[in-house]
Structure 1
Amino acid sequence: MPQEKKQRGRREAKKRKLDETVLGSESNRQNLDEDVEIIVDDDHPKRIHQALDRRDYTAQDLPFYGLLDEQEQEYFKSADSVIELNQFNDSEERDLFLSNVFKEADGKELKIANSQSCSRIMERLILLSTPAQLKAIFQKFNGHFLNLIQHRFASHCCEALFLKAAFITSEEASLEMESSPSMESMFLNLVSELKPHLGFLVSDTFASHPLRVLLAILSGMPLEASRTTSTLQSKKKEHISVPRTLANASETDKTRFVPTSFSNAVDEILHTGMADLDTSSLRALSTQPVANPVLQIMLELELTRSGKKDAKNPNSLFCKLLPDDPLVEGTESAAFFEHLLYDPVGSRLLEVLVTHAPGKTFNAIYRNLLSERIGIVARNETAVFVVVKVIERLSKDDLRTAMRYIVNKLDVLVKRSRTIVIKTLIERCRAREVDVQPIADSFQTFYGSQLPQTIAELLEIGNKDTVDMSVDRRKQLELHDFPKTHISLLFQSMLELPSPLRDLFNDALLQISTPDLISMAKDRAASRVLQLALTCKDQTIGFRRLLMKRFAGTLSSLATDIVASHLVDAMWEGSSGMKFARETMAEELLRDETSIRDSIPGRAVWRNWKMDLYKTRRRDWADESTSGGKTDIEIARDRHAAQKSRHQQKAEALLRRPPQKRVVEA
């Protein structure tokens, strides 16, 4: 008996499983609530099946706005491709095409936004729309936002609509433009529509993202800087864009004017919209991956807008999360704080809390819950990020105390790749002008004479597993090797601070073997340490000379390496004030001119070292090499000023010379 032909693959298996689910729930389709509005142009069974196939089965109370027919789908798909390619002859042809697409989409906006295959063009039309066209789309969506932001595809269109409308609102507010209806009033109507339902929207898989964007717009957050953060958008989001030539330049402005009515709207959302959620509900949402980012924004707005006032208001989010006052060990709030501290999701909310909490509240949290065990907490892979935020806010005296507890666990922190704590501690000590001698003593105690070997091991120098790998594969591993990156950043922070830490690291660096130093130069993370060791401020000339001397005879191979070539560039700056050492390295580069010029990194090194000038006019190169890295025009100006000064001195000398007596012959 012949078998049914089936296509293989995970997508096809998933599709078959979904089809079986739809066919097995025919009774469920007919038992929809009576108040659900179903708008369908045609009752063709195939199209009904496609419509139900694209719906979210967990939200059957959402209305269905109908489907585009096959011709309409093909038209909008092709229009989307044309807009993305942007191969128009001139702007007039482009504007005419976009005008026709807007006309074709008129009256079908809701269908397009809910369509899996055509929702992308709706996002692009929103990005390319004029203020009048955008307001028209906003009005078509008005009254349906509660349903649209919960839809898998329409929610992305709502995000694009809010972001585009935010800049138009800013323009109208800054120029005091009067229009009816104004974009400000549209946003306020949107808030009124969503406010009664915020309790469940914050935890909705799709609605939480537009809600975050809306809060950022109303509060005046810099949208361009915030859009790249995971707080507003998921890392998996498909970013729909338009060609740069079609984008509006005003939308990239960092300054954005926000109407005063938006501030009242934010207060309504924070206090009225979330009033129904009690302590237990908020604590449950704080560890939910979908709701947590929304609560982060809300908590940040609450603490930054009113600060001390909301920290004591019993109806505020802060007091609902941590109602006990004072917050001490043994209370329910302290237990919840401890739970958030080690929760991968809840710790992000805790970072916001310790960053923006009023000073008195922060000091109480730190001294009662974290002070004496901050070194132990820092060992945890989740709590370490909260510890970093805490260190950034510590006072000078508290920083000294925290340093004592952290350095006792330094070897464990390094072993577990929690070096971000040590790095932050060093940076804050530099900012607060706190002596870092205890950190240097701790390194000396735990590692002693093994510090050079430890540095090489932490940077994974001489790793035999990567020796035989291809360049692309090694690059891929290096870019995703976050522990090694954090180790590199720690060593760089030690070098940036003129202190016993730098002296300790300098001595250890000079004790590393030459083959390991060359391997460090060719490693992306380790090479940055060597570059900074040569170029950091106030580095001693003796150390720079000894370090560069270790690379003698290998400059040609380093200059042609895509990573190590940056170290050779750093040697130009590092050899400032060392005329003989710089000429010796330039002579070595000149001997291998052919191989250096044949590679792309080598040509960059040749240009940065001004080797063409070295070949033809060594005196000018020597003058330039002692000029402290000045540009050609700056060197020419200095030369002209020096020549002018010499002429002026000669003229003054002639004027001061006494007149000579003329001898008249008889």
Structure 2
Amino acid sequence: MPREQKKRGRRLKDKPYDKKSVEKEEKTEFQEEADGYDEESSSAGQQAFYGLLDGTQIEYFKEVDEIINANSFKSPAEEEQLYEALWSEIKDIELKVVTDPTGSKAFEQVLLKASQLRLLEIYKDISGKVTELCMQRFSSHCLETLLNCSRSYVSSEGEQNYVIAQIASVDTVNSPVTSAVMDFIAEIKPDIRRIFFHPFGSHVARTLLMMLTGKPLVAKSGSSVLSSKKASKKKAGSAETYHYDSFEPPAVFQQCIKDMVNDLTAHLGLEESRRLALDTVCSPALQLLIEIEDSMMHDHILKIIFPSREAEMDFLTVSYIESLLSAPVGSHFLEKVLYNCPLSFVEYVYEAFFKPRLSIISEAKGFSFVVRALMERLKDKASSQFATELLNGVTNLTLQNIVLLNNVILAVSAHESSTEKVGKKIQKLCDESDINNKLLVLLDLKSFDEISPSRRSHLNDSLKQRCILIENIISHIPVLSEKIVEYFVEFPPDTKIQFCENALLSHAAEAILSKPDSALPIRRKILNDLMGHFRDLACNAGASRIVDACKITTKGLAHYKEQIAQELAANREIVQRNPYGRNVWKNWNMDLYTRSSYDWKGRAKAW
């Protein structure tokens, strides 16, 4: 029997009424409050649309993106020629390009190579449409890149015109990019609250604030903070990291920051601000505002969220902090607050909330992350006392306690007496186990048989945190770190190889081999067990880092260094065909070894 032909797409009006489906389409009351959305008062709430690119244009942008990512230009002139051709294709259809998923990537590439004149031309082209573009999924990425690329020109304009930079006004002739940024700000100012708490617009607003304050920033080309995890993994190999250094912002930016902060916090109330702190989109924006307020010696938002500073916290505030600790977003928010708030507030939260409830809240998921911020901000005596109380509550090596121990070690790493306490506590917990090799105990492994290169299980997160604990012990607890190395030496040779080839365990092995003060006999034993396996180790994703770590292990053991180099050189073709092997070959400077082993030995002595 022939089936009924169904219509494609979403046609809600043609469907019978379904209360659940309608509820999903509607915004929640909180979301409306967060972004201040009002369709009647502004058309910017809708997705910006300026037309579609045709198939030929999309194919062209895809090809250009592939060529740029391959980076196979024969000369700078050839590269410049490609970018000029790309810009000529984009010119006059900029708004179509920035709102297209493929075109926006090409537009970002143009921005990264743009001259000052081209940036000014782009600012002029988007004038009048900035608010709409901020809240469009793809164009928002382009605006982030535009602002980041403007930083160097704003900084240089301030340095060249030092006197002008100290005046709270803009010289459009001598500071054209600074003037363009000010026009950008003036255009979005009426809608700044809605943009700041919008899923796409918030990233543009935060990037703008980072530039206005002159804070350093790290960004990746071909990748956005809004990309999915799957997309980010695909782009990870080709993405280039750009580091934007801190700079002294011009005086005119200071008033902009004050106005923006005032506009964003003017109508914030207790209930709304507390809900914003627990929202995945709004919480990072609120964290940045608190950080900026702290640099301005203000704590207006903190006073809204925590209005009372009485010795005994009220029930609602206690419940709210508990809800922050139980949620990943909330724990990150509280951690950021503790790093960027007056010391008096840190001491108040510690005395009024954490200290009397330590045994109860220590089981909260986000507690271990907040601990580090709390201990680093408290004074030495209070921090040491807090560490002692925390360690008394650790009775086993569960995942929660492992994460807690990691943060405690990092927080007290500057205090030798406190690190000794942590070391004694870990040793005591390990001694409670019947397993003789305590390295297995720390990794929650019952025997050497459980170690394999392909160990993949639901315990991956636990194993990752336990490997981080090994790294922290090696770096910060000298007495215990020596024992860890000795326990590793006890592993059978085959088990050592499997341990090194495991993607997670290899990090722990790298920390052990990178310990510079290990005794020579111990290092010799480890190297003897690894000899004959360096070809396979170099070509393994996890174990390749072990070969690099052997540069430290072989310090003072020149003949071992030469044996490793000989083994790599003997398997040159296999090693160089492998991506991990190529990195090892480069790190060991093997091209020099194949040309002149004598010169290589001279350089290797400095490792």
Fold equivalence (TM over 0.5): yes
| CA root-mean-square deviation | 4.8
Give the conservation status (yes or no) of the 8 Å contact 1:278–1:320: yes
Q: Return the alpha-carbon distance in structure 2 between the equivalents of residues 204 and 607 of structure 1.
A: 45
Cα distance change, pair 368–107 in 1 and its aligned pair in 2 (3 A): same
Deviation at 1:545, TM superposition (A): 1.7
- The alignment status of 1:126 with 2:107, answered yes or no, reads no
Unaligned runs of 5+ in 2: 17-41, 165-170
- The alignment status of 1:345 with 2:349, answered yes or no, reads no
Which of 528, 533, 558 is the aligned partner of 1:557? 533
- The equivalent of 1:189 in structure 2 is 183
Deviation at 1:408, TM superposition (A): 2.3
Deviation at 1:265, TM superposition (A): 0.8
TM normalised by structure 1 equals: 0.69
Deviation at 1:486, TM superposition (A): 2.4
Give the conservation status (yes or no) of the 8 Å contact 1:199–1:277: no
Letter in 1 for 2:214: G
Unaligned runs of 5+ in 1: 7-14, 26-57, 636-666
The DSSP-based 3-state class of the residue aligned with 2:413 is helix
- The equivalent of 1:38 in structure 2 is none
Query: Any residues of structure 2 matched to 1:436-451 within 5 Å, and which?
Result: 436-448=419-431, 450=434
Q: Return the alpha-carbon distance in structure 2 between the equivalents of residues 160 and 565 of structure 1.
A: 35
- The alignment status of 1:382 with 2:366, answered yes or no, reads yes
Give the conservation status (yes or no) of the 8 Å contact 2:148–2:207: yes
Cα distance change, pair 291–599 in 1 and its aligned pair in 2 (3 A): same
Which of 163, 169, 173 is the aligned partner of 2:158? 173
Q: Return the alpha-carbon distance in structure 1 between the equivalents of residues 461 and 104 of structure 2.
A: 37
Which of 148, 163, 184 is the aligned partner of 2:133? 148
- The equivalent of 1:47 in structure 2 is none
Which of 141, 144, 158 is the aligned partner of 2:143? 158
Task: Name which structure has the greater RCO, CA cutoff 8 Å, separation 6+.
Answer: 2
Aligned length: 552
Q: Return the alpha-carbon distance in structure 2 between the equivalents of residues 607 and 218 of structure 1.
A: 40
Give the conservation status (yes or no) of the 8 Å contact 2:516–2:553: no
Letter in 2 for 1:397: K
Cα distance change, pair 17–304 in 1 and its aligned pair in 2 (3 A): same
Q: Return the alpha-carbon distance in structure 2 between the equivalents of residues 17 and 464 of structure 1.
A: 54
Deviation at 1:387, TM superposition (A): 1.6
Give the conservation status (yes or no) of the 8 Å contact 1:343–1:382: yes
Which of 331, 350, 367 is the aligned partner of 1:366? 350
Give the conservation status (yes or no) of the 8 Å contact 1:440–1:504: no
- The equivalent of 1:392 in structure 2 is 376
The DSSP-based 3-state class of the residue aligned with 1:431 is coil
Deviation at 1:497, TM superposition (A): 3.9
The DSSP-based 3-state class of the residue aligned with 1:140 is helix
Deviations 1:157-207 (A, max 9, x none): 322222223333223222239644823233223333333333333332221
- The alignment status of 1:491 with 2:476, answered yes or no, reads no
Deviations 1:122-142 (A, max 9, x none): 434433433223223212322
| Higher alpha-carbon Rg | 1
- The equivalent of 2:36 in structure 1 is none
Cα distance change, pair 460–520 in 1 and its aligned pair in 2 (3 A): farther
Deviations 1:286-310 (A, max 9, x none): 111111111111111111231xxx2
Letter in 1 for 2:367: A
Deviation at 1:220, TM superposition (A): 1.0
- The equivalent of 1:233 in structure 2 is 225
Q: Return the alpha-carbon distance in structure 1 between the equivalents of residues 351 and 207 of structure 2.
A: 35
Give the conservation status (yes or no) of the 8 Å contact 1:559–1:565: no
- The equivalent of 2:255 in structure 1 is 264
The DSSP-based 3-state class of the residue aligned with 2:323 is helix
- The alignment status of 1:419 with 2:402, answered yes or no, reads yes
Query: Any residues of structure 2 matched to 1:57-76 within 5 Å, and which?
Result: 62=46, 66-68=50-52, 70=54, 74-75=56-57
Q: Report the identity percentage.
A: 19
- The equivalent of 2:207 in structure 1 is 213
Letter in 2 for 1:213: T
Give the conservation status (yes or no) of the 8 Å contact 2:551–2:561: no
- The equivalent of 1:286 in structure 2 is 277
Give the conservation status (yes or no) of the 8 Å contact 2:548–2:587: no
Q: Return the alpha-carbon distance in structure 2 between the equivalents of residues 104 and 518 of structure 1.
A: 54
TM normalised by structure 2 equals: 0.74
Give the conservation status (yes or no) of the 8 Å contact 1:347–1:383: yes
Q: Return the alpha-carbon distance in structure 2 between the equivalents of residues 566 and 282 of structure 1.
A: 46
- The equivalent of 1:137 in structure 2 is 122
Cα distance change, pair 594–271 in 1 and its aligned pair in 2 (3 A): closer
Cα distance change, pair 340–255 in 1 and its aligned pair in 2 (3 A): closer
Cα distance change, pair 299–99 in 1 and its aligned pair in 2 (3 A): same
Query: Any residues of structure 2 matched to 1:602-641 within 5 Å, and which?
Result: 631=603
Give the conservation status (yes or no) of the 8 Å contact 1:166–1:217: yes
- The alignment status of 1:317 with 2:293, answered yes or no, reads no
The DSSP-based 3-state class of the residue aligned with 1:430 is coil
- The equivalent of 1:82 in structure 2 is 64
Which of 2, 9, 18 is the aligned partner of 1:17? 9
Deviation at 1:630, TM superposition (A): 6.7
Give the conservation status (yes or no) of the 8 Å contact 1:324–1:332: no
Q: Return the alpha-carbon distance in structure 1 between the equivalents of residues 251 and 589 of structure 2.
A: 56
Cα distance change, pair 605–410 in 1 and its aligned pair in 2 (3 A): farther
Deviations 1:94-130 (A, max 9, x none): 6667556655655443343334553444434433433
Which 10-residue stretch deviates more, 349-358 or 592-601? 592-601
- The equivalent of 2:196 in structure 1 is 202
Give the conservation status (yes or no) of the 8 Å contact 2:359–2:393: yes
Which 10-residue stretch deviates more, 434-443 or 100-109? 100-109
